[in-house]
Amino acid sequence: MLIRISLILAVVAALAVGVVNFVWVKDKITTLTDDRNSQRSQKEQAQTELASTKKELARTQADLKQTQQQLADTQTERDTAVANAAAQSKRADQLTDKLAKTTQERDVAQDELAAYTASGLTAAQVSKLNRSLKDMQEAMEALNEEKIVLLHTRDRLQSRLDQLLGNTTDIVLRADLKGKILVVDPKWDFVVLDIGDDQGVKQDSELLVSRDGKLVAKVIVRSLEKDRCIANVVPGWKLGDVIEGDEVSPAHPAS
């Protein structure tokens, strides 16, 4: 009887140990499974972050390459603008010298014509001298026009050069420069003016828009043509609606 009881107790004890071991092993397996899943999740997150970092690095490298190209293009454009401005200035100086020489020759011809007229030359001789004087006068006027064109070109190049070099000095225009607004685009805030390069307007110059003596807005020239220009309304300077017929004058007139 005692032996049977002992066997029963042994079996019960073995079962209890087995249950305990099973619970312990199950907990251990659950812990290991959770650790494995956590490591797998961390690995996947790390791989995702690595891929994102690689994409960001590639994008940054592309942006850097683009920025370097833009810098090189800007430097090339600046060098070209400097060279063109120097060439135009040299050409303007040459025209000034040539104009002075032509003026002197014209004055000499006028003196000679007066002297010949007083000396009693024939009509044919006087006509020839008159023709020569007229030719010189026309040549001088042509030189004057070419000089004006070159000076305007030089001013445009200088303005572009200042923009490339980051110079922000105000662009001075003739104090007597006046114009009117021909077209208004209220959606994009730009206007078309009836004055341009021939009247002395310069690229990126600023003009004040007024109506009945009251300031309406300020605009800045963005596109310049021979006898008209396109300008954008300067943000913060729009005091009222700009309309066709409004007058414009330099924001920075020459003193």
- In tens, the pLDDT along 42-56 reads 877 877 877 777 888
Q: What is the CATH number of domain 179-250?
A: 2.40.10
Q: Which residues of the chain have pLDDT under 50?
A: none
Distances (CA, A) of 246 to 28, 193, 229, 238, 253: 87, 10, 15, 13, 19
pLDDT at 199: 93
pLDDT at 186: 87
pLDDT at 20: 54
- Taking a C-beta distance cutoff of 8 angstroms, is the pair 238, 189 a contact? yes
CA distance 133 to 138: 9
